[in-house]
């Protein structure tokens, strides 16, 4: 998010641009890009610095450009940002037969061309926040939106082979969004057994590691996480442990504790009625983390970690 939680994430920790015009300006000035982490601290769910327009680093397999965090702008409906999401039928038979998994690739590269739409405020229950943000990028220009969609595609194939019906909030098939509230609604309407929102952070270059964000208890307006806090916590623990085993990535050294963080300011979690967590797979502004995330083989490991976590969680009968 600034990272990653599809919602404008930090404070929410705001990381995305409130006005993309500002975000784009910041990231076109190398000396200022490193300050993105502080900028998002003032934004909301999914607020991060705008992704750089630089070309994908040499040797990096370009991933399909994804869509954004939660639902489409103010209207919050599929028609506002693109086609309604559809599930991917299982390709195999296994432990996930009959289960539905929601995968939420954070951000949308098209958001930079739709600043008016993504800057509109949506209701997340206990506050109002930007529909979405642009996400972050490595210093070489590999965008968070490309990263998240690539990892989600890889995880989807693993889960489908295990018998799961997999629903995506967006598949690079819409011009922007969806907005954060719509992202939650897609999982609710699918009656997902588990939901994971995939992100990458944009913290200061010296910070590194991954962390999992779980929902805190929120009962305000349209938000009521009472029923999902406990199962989401179990899903979060499974995801933290499986991701670390699969990738070797250390826990974040700049946020959370032992790779876990609990938030009540993310629309994608506040409005969810199904067990859901976010994962910030690493800090794209950190050289070591960026090297991992631009490596297709590492992204495959990241996908395997996510799939293993979902499989283990659903094996508990949740």
CA dist., res. 305 & res. 169, Å (int): 20
CA dist., res. 171 & res. 109, Å (int): 12
The active-site residue out of 117, 144, 182, 280 is 280
Q: Is 281 exposed, middle or buried (0-12, 13-18, 19+ CB in 10 A)?
A: buried
13 DSSP assignment: B
DSSP-derived 3-state class of residue 260: strand
Residue with tokens 């899903």: 235
Q: How many CB atoms lie within 10 A of CB 260?
A: 18
Measured over the CA atoms of residue 63, residue 69, residue 73 and residue 75, the dihedral's sign is: positive
59 DSSP assignment: T
CA dist., res. 36 & res. 57, Å (int): 20
Is 280 assigned a catalytic role? yes
86 token code pair: 């559809």
Report yes or no: 215 and 225 within 8 Å, Cβ to Cβ.
yes
Which active-site residues does the annotation give?
280
């Amino acid at each position: 998010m600034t990272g990653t939680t599809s919602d404008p994430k930090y404070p929410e920790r705001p990381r995305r641009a409130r006005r993309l015009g500002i975000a784009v300006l910041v990231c076109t000035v190398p000396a200022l890009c490193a300050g993105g982490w502080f900028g998002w601290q003032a934004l909301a769910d999914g607020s991060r610095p705008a992704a750089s327009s630089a070309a994908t680093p040499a040797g990096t397999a370009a991933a399909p450009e994804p869509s954004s965090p939660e639902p489409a702008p103010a209207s919050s409906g599929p028609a506002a940002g693109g086609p309604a999401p559809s599930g991917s039928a299982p390709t195999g038979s296994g432990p996930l037969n009959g289960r539905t998994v929601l995968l939420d690739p954070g951000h949308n590269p098209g958001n930079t061309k739709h600043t008016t739409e993504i800057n509109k405020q949506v209701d997340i229950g206990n506050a109002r926040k930007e529909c979405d943000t642009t996400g972050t990028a490595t210093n070489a220009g590999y965008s968070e939106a490309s990263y998240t969609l690539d990892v989600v595609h890889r995880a989807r194939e693993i889960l489908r082979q295990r018998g799961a019906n997999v629903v995506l909030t967006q598949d690079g098939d819409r011009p922007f969004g969806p907005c954060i509230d719509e992202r939650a609604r897609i999982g609710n309407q699918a009656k997902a057994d588990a939901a994971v929102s995939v992100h990458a952070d944009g913290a200061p270059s010296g910070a590194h590691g991954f962390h999992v964000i779980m929902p805190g208890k929120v009962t305000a307006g349209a938000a009521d996480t009472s029923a999902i806090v406990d199962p989401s916590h179990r899903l979060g623990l499974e995801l933290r442990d499986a991701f670390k085993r699969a990738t070797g990535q250390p826990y974040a050294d700049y946020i959370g504790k032992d790779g876990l963080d609990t938030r009540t300011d993310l629309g994608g979690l506040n409005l969810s009625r199904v067990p859901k967590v976010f994962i910030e797979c690493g800090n794209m502004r950190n050289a070591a983390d960026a090297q991992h995330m631009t490596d297709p083989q590492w992204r495959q490991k990241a996908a395997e970690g996510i799939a293993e976590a979902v499989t283990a969680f659903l094996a508990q009968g949740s």
